[in-house]
A and B are shown apart, each in its own frame.
Chain A
Amino acid sequence: MSSQAPPRADELLALADDELVLGWRDSEWTGIAPFLEEDVAFSSIAQTEIGHARAFYELAARELGGTADTLAFDRRPEEYRSSPLVELRLVHDWGRTIARHVLYELADAIRVAELKESDDADLAGLAEKIEREEAYHVMHAQMWADRLAESDDGRARLLAGLDELWPYALGLVEGAQRERFLADVAERLPFFFPPEVEPVARGEHVDEWAELWDEMTMVRRSAPGGRW
């Protein structure tokens, strides 16, 4: 495989913002998931995603200055590079949540695998580490997609979510990565026939983003410069 130049800081920020925002959204299931095992699972996944965000922010901070915390919480909402896919508030709708989970994890696995080939040894090592942890997220997402697809009701709900979120998921990956994503989706979700739509690329934020940003940064803004 060919090596690549170290991604620019804004690419690291995009990765970090995706993981931070998704981790935040996943944590909204804590205490209200359909059953206890899923309270635990989504809470644990949220924790891991935020850990990955922190690691990416730390690498970005080497180029941009500041710390993981300042990058995560001191930017204006319009400065975030997160994908609309992770910003959507899906809590209370399990079918759409699993649709996002499986689409995100399949696309993210492709991004992370490519980062392992980076010339930057720290980034390549980090990607290898993240890939091992994310493998459990992929398993969990696949398990749930398969489980929902087993019943008529579950399949209908999952497919409604997949159809709706597909343009956002396409926006996570471009070029050869997108080709790979289409192949992986066809293999892993054989019951889903993606609609022909234009991808929604990152850059635009969804309506729910402002409220999430407000909540996410509230404590830090309440005590500027505070230390915990």
Chain B
Amino acid sequence: MTVAAALTPERVWERLAEIPDPEIPVISLVDLGVVRDVAVEGERVRVDFTPTFLGCPALELMQTLMADAVRELGGEPDVVVRTDDPWTTDLITPEGRAKLREAGFAPPGPRPAVGQVQLVDIQRGPFRCPYCDSTDTRLDNIFGPTPCRSLRYCESCRQPFEQFKTV
């Protein structure tokens, strides 16, 4: 089998699905939803990538890891950063959300149908504790250790936890 014959979008997707998020390694880049498209033309592999948070320091590392993965498959990578169709937390896959919860990160709520998330939504919304499943939780800090996370506290099991922000 030649290298070119082995290169299919499916193989590339499978390989990209093995790359862990640099900051939250329980979830892969594919589960995170940042890989938007893969196109293979001969040895050239174009990967369309949309950044999570613009201030996230892991963005460049993600691109490097994807390019390296394509090279391992024998392809010539072209990782294209797209800004015309921005990433949203709604793109995190159901599998990704389950993995986040298992690791103690509460997955993001859905984006509002209209407008932006409001303070009242994150203060009063039924956010579920990833440890005990209670919704008796309160917002501790809109901001957390990385741009993508808020801090919440569970009144039921008295455990602080990290909540993925909805964007």
Contacts and interface: CB of A to CB of B under 8 A. Distances in A.
A139 B122 CA distance: 10
B56 interface: yes
A199 to B, nearest CB: 27
A90 interface: no
A37 B140 contact: yes
B142 A52 contact: no
A132 B116 contact: yes
A29 B120 CA distance: 26
A51 B52 CA distance: 11
Given A41-B142, A125-B86, A142 B119 contact: yes
Interface in A75-118: none
Contact of B143 (A40, A55, A129): A40
A128 interface: yes
Interface in A109-161: 121-122, 124-126, 128-133, 135-136, 138-140, 142-143
Contact of B119 (A44, A124, A143): A143
Contacts of A172: none
Contacts of B143: 37, 40-41, 43-45, 136, 140
B83 A48 contact: no
Interface in B146-167: 146-147, 151, 165, 167
Contacts of B91: none
B115 to A, nearest CB: 9
A40 B146 CA distance: 9
Interface string B35-54: 00000000000000001011
Interface of B is mostly: loop
A122 B83 contact: yes
Contacts of B144: 40, 44
A136 B146 CA distance: 13
B54 A129 contact: yes
Contact of A135 (B54, B56, B116): B116
Interface residues of B, number: 29
A43 B55 CA distance: 11
A17 interface: no
B87 interface: yes
Contact of B116 (A50, A54, A131, A142): A131
B85 interface: yes
A129 B117 contact: no
Given A44-B147, A132-B167, A136-B143, A51 B55 contact: yes
Given A122-B84, A125-B84, A139-B119, A130 B54 contact: yes
Contact of B87 (A47, A129, A131, A143): A129
Given A40-B145, A44-B143, A143-B142, 18 more contacts: A41-B141, A43-B143, A45-B143, A48-B54, A51-B54, A51-B56, A55-B83, A122-B84, A126-B86, A132-B86, A133-B54, A133-B147, A135-B117, A136-B165, A138-B116, A139-B118, A139-B142, A140-B143
15 contacts: A41-B143, A43-B143, A44-B146, A47-B57, A50-B55, A51-B54, A51-B55, A125-B83, A128-B86, A129-B54, A129-B83, A133-B54, A133-B167, A139-B117, A140-B143
